[in-house]
Structure 1
Amino acid sequence: MSTVKKVRKAVLPVAGLGTRFLPATKAVPKEMLTIVDKPVVQYVVEEAAAAGIEHFVFVTGRNKAVIEDHFDIQFELNETLEARGKTAELANIKAMLPKAGSMSFTRQQEPLGLGHAVWCARDIIGDEPFALLLPDMLMQDARGCLSGMMNLYAQTGGNVVSVEECHPDLAHKYGIVGMGDEVGEGFKITEMVEKPAKGTAPSNWFINGRYILQPEIFDILETQERGAGNEIQLTDGMLRLAESQEFAGYRFRGNTFDCGSKDGFIKANLAFALARDDIRALIEDDLRALIG
């Protein structure tokens, strides 16, 4: 196999309106809703950074400027924290700041689908493989989902998607992959089916919101016809890409929370709070009492 080109850049589509969380998201982007004490999008950026990503490309829309501000220096805040002796809080804020020039922001002027959002990043990504992380999907795993995908990518090259199991009766709700030969912590993908009819799914492994894609996807998305929801669908583009390039599925064994849904958002808050020693003892008994 030829040398596998390093994945240095990641695309984060953050242009969605977050209508499922209205009125909370009327003025606050859904990506800035907090899981315990950090915005959802910060967890995703940290996952990507831990996997070796050097440059982050945010595909934004209107009313999303606060995301850019979040990853910038606030001199007044820093000065206030320092003056009040809040050294721990100041250290946390400084630690989350990206390196200068490591973040880019581009606009998706119209809500034309995930495939279109990815295509909007084409000039910043250039002729390189890239990671795609859906900020709604929050992964809880000691190693990090994208880090595991990077290990598999180093073995397979091509394209890699993260997959996890669902109950077979629910396979019709997801994008499902067909399973081929085992490789590393995953397998070769033989087919991809978006929301297969009940009883026809090739497996119960579904794509869960993390991708490593080759740049040829941009040329495909540029001419991709609109699909489900009258939008340009990424899955349709990947199906065309799979005609000439290989795809592998990385078996993600951690927990996935769909923070674009109210129940997923609440579960994520509980799971991440309970995973923290400084919070678990404060809420564990109260949670049991509430459930009781």
Structure 2
Amino acid sequence: MMAVITAAGLGTRMLPWTKEIPKEMLPVVWNDEIKPIIQVVFEQLYSQGVRDFIFVVSRNKRVIEDYFAPDHDLVDYLEASGKNRQARSLRGFYEMVERANIAFVNQFEPKGFGHAVLVARPYVSGDFLVVGPDTLVLDLDVSAMPVNSFLVTEVQDPRQYGVVQLVDDRVIDLEEKPRTPKSNLIVVPYYHFDEDIFRALASVKFEGELQLTDGIRALIREGKEFRAVKVKRVYDLGNLTGYIDYMRSLVNSMNV
């Protein structure tokens, strides 16, 4: 299984923090350690069998490439200094990185989520996952996602998200950030596609930003069926409210 991880966005919802630090590198507590969000997403996917990764980055995201470059000298230093817990953590991460096939692709202009996926086209063969690494899904199970499906969850106010209409689990329509949502189900940015998504995205005429939902809608109009896989434990860490909610959930769990 291959995963395309899109990490080229500007992160405007988390400014000024993200002026110099990519939102994907924001720290979260995970398994009693502090890790960047993108590392947590990578480790989740790796633990579920994904070994081929394409990271779509932009010019100001070089820190992500550096982070995924193993630094064994640092591990040796930590071990020599008696900091064995930190050394074990880094060594485990580096072992995953070295066992995976990782490539970085540049999105040279901020033209939207759909465009970020499209620039990965020359490097993808067969069906693949697409993941937005500013969202954590605690009940993630990629094996439950058939080809041409994506995750959805229920929220109280869906107006800032892609909103989905379903018949059973079949997607009949979706709309990006509607003023008047037709449901309270939103897209969670974890998708399983076949290569038709590239053709659909390339056919969409757009101004400003190409949205991934535009490509999916084009395929639905052609008659291709998409399935929605419902999840519940979702945190959108790309905005302040979601980030605080996640941190608050950790504090609450420690107080139990």
Q: TM-score, normalised by structure 2?
A: 0.89
Given that residues 35 and 272 in structure 1 are in contact (C-alpha distance below 8 angstroms), is that contact kept between their aligned partners in structure 2? no
SS of corresponding position for 1:31 = helix
Aligned partners of 2:235 and 2:69: how far apart in 1? Answer: 27
Partner of 1:265: 243
Aligned partners of 1:32 and 1:205: how far apart in 2? Answer: 27
The one-letter code sitting in structure 2 at the alignment partner of 1:193 is E
Aligned partners of 1:19 and 1:189: how far apart in 2? Answer: 30
Q: Deviation at 1:197?
A: 4.5
Aligned partners of 1:197 and 1:31: how far apart in 2? Answer: 28
Are residues 1:246 and 2:233 paired? Answer: no
Are residues 1:15 and 2:15 paired? Answer: no
Partner of 2:131: 133
1:48-59 equivalence runs, <5 A:
48-59=45-56
Partner of 2:191: 211
The structure-2 alpha-carbon separation of the partners of 1:9 and 1:80, relative to structure 1 and needing over 3 Å to count, comes to same
Gapped regions of structure 1 (runs ≥ 5): 1-7, 182-186, 286-292
The structure-2 alpha-carbon separation of the partners of 1:22 and 1:267, relative to structure 1 and needing over 3 Å to count, comes to same
Are residues 1:226 and 2:206 paired? Answer: yes
Given that residues 53 and 100 in structure 2 are in contact (C-alpha distance below 8 angstroms), is that contact kept between their aligned partners in structure 1? no
The structure-2 alpha-carbon separation of the partners of 1:23 and 1:192, relative to structure 1 and needing over 3 Å to count, comes to closer
Mean Cα displacement is larger for which, 72-81 or 187-196?
187-196
Q: Deviation at 1:82?
A: 1.5
Aligned partners of 2:161 and 2:15: how far apart in 1? Answer: 25
How many corresponding residue pairs?
Answer: 249
Partner of 1:107: 106
Percent identity over paired residues:
35
1:115-264 equivalence runs, <5 A:
115-126=114-125, 128-141=126-139, 145=140, 147=141, 149-153=142-146, 158-167=147-156, 170-181=157-168, 187-198=169-180, 201=182, 203-226=183-206, 230-242=208-220, 243-254=222-233, 256-264=234-242
SS of corresponding position for 1:64 = helix
Given that residues 144 and 229 in structure 2 are in contact (C-alpha distance below 8 angstroms), is that contact kept between their aligned partners in structure 1? no
The structure-2 alpha-carbon separation of the partners of 1:78 and 1:172, relative to structure 1 and needing over 3 Å to count, comes to closer
Mean Cα displacement is larger for which, 101-110 or 189-198?
189-198
Aligned partners of 2:53 and 2:66: how far apart in 1? Answer: 15
Deviations 1:96-124 (A, max 9, x none): 12135511100000001111000011111
Aligned partners of 1:32 and 1:273: how far apart in 2? Answer: 21
Aligned partners of 1:174 and 1:65: how far apart in 2? Answer: 28
Aligned partners of 2:129 and 2:190: how far apart in 1? Answer: 7
Given that residues 145 and 192 in structure 2 are in contact (C-alpha distance below 8 angstroms), is that contact kept between their aligned partners in structure 1? no
Q: Deviation at 1:265?
A: 1.5
Instruction: Point out the structure with max Rg over C-alpha.
Output: 1
The structure-2 alpha-carbon separation of the partners of 1:245 and 1:46, relative to structure 1 and needing over 3 Å to count, comes to same
Aligned partners of 2:176 and 2:166: how far apart in 1? Answer: 15
Gapped regions of structure 2 (runs ≥ 5): none
Aligned partners of 1:70 and 1:161: how far apart in 2? Answer: 28
Deviations 1:16-44 (A, max 9, x none): 12233333223222211101310011111
